[in-house]
Amino acid sequence: MYAPFTAGQNLYFALFQTVGKFAGTPFCRASATFGAETTMTRYPITTGTQTVTASGPVTGTLSTAALTNLSTIYLDVTGLSTGTCRISIEDSATGTFGDALPVKVWHFTAGEPADGITVSAMRDEIPNIRAGATGNALRVNVLSLSAGATLNISGNVDA
């Protein structure tokens, strides 16, 4: 003896069995296959956290020649004492930064949370970043900083 069918199953049979498409089961079974999980490593762009009192490049660079799978760049800013600042992460094809191009630029204003702020950009936001070729490198550059202001900054990248 067969169990009674629900209204949904009856509708399925009425619609699909009559046109020869009855597949044997009225409901699809979900199935998914996922690839291997990728483990990311965080690499420092700056040499630790740097205290900045003037505009210009921040101490430290990161060679990205061997990092073909860059995913996210991070900038941590704390202690902006007064005024405003503009900070960029720049890349170079040669590692000398004579050809530096801004990858991402952020603007900060004094009064940010006391524990600082972390901003980031994922790979789809920075599609033209140069990485994976000989000489490629990243650096953090303070483009502008209000007179008399200081801040602490560090940059990192996941790859």
Domain range for 68 is 58-158
Task: With beta carbons less than 8 A apart as the criterion, state whether 62 and 129 touch.
Answer: no
pLDDT of residue 19: 57
Q: Strand runs (DSSP E) across 65-136, as ranges?
A: 72-78, 84-92, 101-109, 117-122
In a domain, 84, yes or no: yes
The label of the residue with tokens 């930064």 reads: 97
In a domain, 51, yes or no: no
User: 35 Cβ partners below 8 Å, 6+ apart?
Assistant: none
In a domain, 100, yes or no: yes
Confidence of residue 39 (pLDDT cuts 50, 70, 90): confident
In a domain, 50, yes or no: no
Mean pLDDT value across the chain: 86
Torsion sign over Cα 47, 90, 158, 66: negative
Does the structure show a pLDDT above 60 at 96? yes
How much is the pTM? 0.75
Does the structure show a pLDDT above 90 at 144? yes
pLDDT of residue 112: 81
Q: How many domains does the chain have?
A: 1
- Average pLDDT, stretch 64-85? 93
Q: Of the ranges 2-6, 38-42, 53-57, 79-83, which is most confident?
A: 53-57
Confidence of residue 22 (pLDDT cuts 50, 70, 90): very low
Does the structure show a pLDDT above 80 at 23? no
CA dihedral 143, 145, 150, 151 (to 10 degrees): -40
Does the structure show a pLDDT above 60 at 21? no
- Average pLDDT, stretch 152-158? 96
